[in-house]
Structure 1
């Protein structure tokens, strides 16, 4: 069957961010295998002769208006492989779902380590660096938690993060449970804001009702830092007199924060309920496709232990 097929190039100077795309059309007759082999054989020639350059479609850019190679991988993970190139394809009057090969060009040189059909979703099994001889492979979380077009994020976070926290709490390992919960807030703050200062506090201030416990996010962050680093209550700001010394108490639900001997005791039971409600508010904002791409891009970097 005769049709127009395309070599598409994504250009990156630094190996991190994609700046633009180039496209070279070919009108070919024969089967798909022949056409793909033709495109592969002509990569170098097409790169040298490419004169049709276009921006990435804005629907897939991140909140800073940028598009990284990692974010392109996120698009491939949800079968969104061609959306970044809609402007380039429209410029060539391409039909829906054309036959294409997409190739990264890093600092002027073709560079790729994954070969994947654009109709197939990218998974860990396709990534060479995911396979370590003698080491058990971790399942791809999207195989389990992406059902159809719906991403079951709360179920993923519960299985990966909250189950161990609740298991420790229910077995009266309260300190270990609290430490793990503080680390989990660091994780979701990174997913939401990236690697920024005050992400922990900003996430709590934006989504939680922490103030109902008469505790501030700075006080909780001080406790988090001293607990995770030293397993004591002496954070730098506490020692400087800038925030109250905070600790945890195990009380019935609804028991207020108590001040005793210059220590404010946070009801850990209440905080677990407040945190769960905050996660629901936070996840409500991820119905937006661009935020979901960001979540996948950043969660791919999170260390997991669910085999």
Structure 2
């Protein structure tokens, strides 16, 4: 009985996926899966022009999102309607190839396992490989390595300003990963996942602290200078937040803030256990993030 195998195509203009296509073959000869994949990849150069195609209308899939699907092994789901149309078996043998502006990208063929986009020559560790076991990402250890080791190292050695700066960068990062490049995402993430009220802080106040300390290494954002928002002053071993009405400032305990944000991260990570589609967007955005922990198969020239 012949086996049906599939050449799948993802057509893109370099920014978004515009069309999906497929060609099917009835293979009579016995042979290894590897040889069948080699056949499909060789045929891709000819097949892409005459493939059965359908436009991608909604939801829009950008190219970065497509590659995150690859990395998580979920890209095949895009072709589910095609497979239903031809009564394909549950686990079809296929090669999936990108066609960008008419040019076949054989180097980005995909055959079923997750696509390894780690580029050791570029000096980056693939965090999905390093931090994934039993099909789960160890977010806690990843964020510990990428951010909190440095935050705690700075804090424990008395570099409080630098520790606070890196903490603000971390919130910027997780807010971007959650909401994208959206105005107000810093405050939105803090309001959604942390309980700043337990130390008498507001997310809007922390945003102004972030603006001053990151941009100018001071405590004076424009809104603070105008008196619209209280100035925040990081301290240690403070206990409760202290208010100074004369200076219109709050002194807060930096360690308590770090602990609150860590707890918020745990709450945030739990959302990935109940919404698997969020993971694709996480990978798409976190792929753009660099860190000390993930730089390094070769020295960085300075």
TM range (shorter): 0.7 to 0.9
Quote the offset at 1:268 in angstroms: 1.1
Equivalent pair of 2:96/2:109 in contact (CA under 8 Å) = no
Range that drifts further, 89-98 or 37-46:
37-46
Cα separation, 2, equivalents of 1:99 and 1:69 = 23
For the aligned residues, what is the CA RMSD?
2.2
Gap change, CA 1:213 and 1:46, over 3 Å in 2:
same
Gap change, CA 1:94 and 1:212, over 3 Å in 2:
same
Equivalent pair of 2:98/2:109 in contact (CA under 8 Å) = no
Tell me the equivalent position of 1:103. 97
Is 2:242 aligned against 1:257?
Answer: yes
Tell me the equivalent position of 1:94. 88
Is 2:217 aligned against 1:231?
Answer: yes
TM-score (norm 2): 0.88
**What pairs up with 1:1-307 in 2 under 5 angstroms?**
2-13=2-13, 15-30=14-29, 31=31, 32-53=33-54, 65-119=59-113, 121-125=114-118, 127=119, 131-132=121-122, 137-252=123-238, 254-259=239-244, 261-287=247-273, 288-306=275-293, 307=296
5+ residue gaps, structure 2: 297-302
TM-score (norm 1): 0.86
Secondary structure at the residue paired with 1:82? helix
Cα separation, 2, equivalents of 1:297 and 1:113 = 19
Cα separation, 2, equivalents of 1:52 and 1:141 = 34
Cα separation, 2, equivalents of 1:34 and 1:283 = 41
5+ residue gaps, structure 1: 59-64
Secondary structure at the residue paired with 2:8? strand
Cα separation, 2, equivalents of 1:78 and 1:28 = 29
Gap change, CA 1:24 and 1:143, over 3 Å in 2:
same
